[in-house]
Amino acid sequence: MAAAYGGGGVGLLGALAAGTLIGQAKLARRAIGMAQSPPPRCDGVYGTELGAIDGQLPLKLAVLGDSSAAGYGVDRPRETPGALLAAGLAERLHRPVILRSMAVVGAESADLVPQREVAVDWQPDLAVVLIGANDVTHRVRLPIAVAHLAATVRRLRQAGIQVVVGTCPDLGTIRPIGQPLRWVVRRWSREMAAAQTIVAVEAGATTVSLGDLLGPEFAAAPETMFSSDRFHPSALGYAAAAAAMLPTLVEALHPAPEAQPSLSQDEGVRSLAQAAVEAVDRAGTEVRGARVAGRDNGPAGRWAQLRHRVRQLTERPHDPQTTHSTPVQPSVVE
């Protein structure tokens, strides 16, 4: 638990030369470009060709978070993670999905407060939260960052909204960040992801680790997995993240029967702290709260089920039928 909350990070920073890190950070900022335009608005209705089945209304999906949630770095609405998830849900559940994005480029966890209030007013069936990278790069204290995430999950769950959190990606996969800074931000982002898993599951969400999801693909084809700024994912990169999260979204909206799923030896129930640490090591790992013998807690704290979901790809959606919702205006830009 102490490791998940970043107990080693300060000591690590003290052991490295501060001047070297500052110099590496300046070089990285110069190397990482800026996208030419803000992310495209992806609000609208997906899967309209499916129609309503047996009188069912369309599902409502909200996306909260930072530039990775907004789709910064791509050019078309259908390439954003929100569009990919909405289209995937419509395809899997055979129902149209109304998507609304509250995400703001440059947002830190503290900036979730206005986003979640807009989401609560809209009352979606499911909210997806992608946050944490800017907290790491701006060195927001870990307990402060995850406290904002926990408060957001609790607020959404109290409103009856299902919540899935994609935890902080491994920023050590960003090649313009040189060594030793890349090694340091990898440690910081992994600590952030583990802490996010703990507080989000305790607050009632399910988490999916994104970690180094793009790492192997980036090493093989950096020109295709990352956008022109070499920091944010490309359309293919966002598709990889959406594929990792989609099975968990389907489960959140359409729970499987109570029967225990078939799990491998490295899956199953363990303490939440242990599950959080294990999830960091394998991208695409789902962590949700569990009960053992009718109890939520055991000797080591909250029980959790860890599961490695099979990634579900979806066809690239068409641009959505637009809705008349008022978009959230960006309050932070970087």
d(CA 5, CA 13): 15
The strand pairing partners of 305, in sequence order, are: 269, 288
**Which residue of the set 66, 135, 170, 232 is catalytic?**
232
| Active site (annotated) includes residue 232 | yes
| Active site (annotated) includes residue 121 | no
- Phi, psi at residue 274, to the nearest 5°? -65, -40
The strand pairing partners of 43, in sequence order, are: none
142-158 and 112-122 helices cross at what angle (nearest 10)?
10
| Active site (annotated) includes residue 94 | no
Q: From residue 209, how far is each of 96, 168, 200, 321 by CA, in Å?
A: 27, 7, 12, 31
Three-point CA angle 140, 308, 115, nearest 5°: 35
**Token digits for 306?**
């860890």
Q: From residue 183, how far is each of 31, 58, 124 by CA, in Å?
A: 17, 45, 39
**Which residue of the set 229, 296, 308, 325 is catalytic?**
229
**Which residue of the set 43, 67, 135, 227 is catalytic?**
67
181-203 and 18-31 helices cross at what angle (nearest 10)?
80
Q: State the catalytic residues.
A: 67, 229, 232
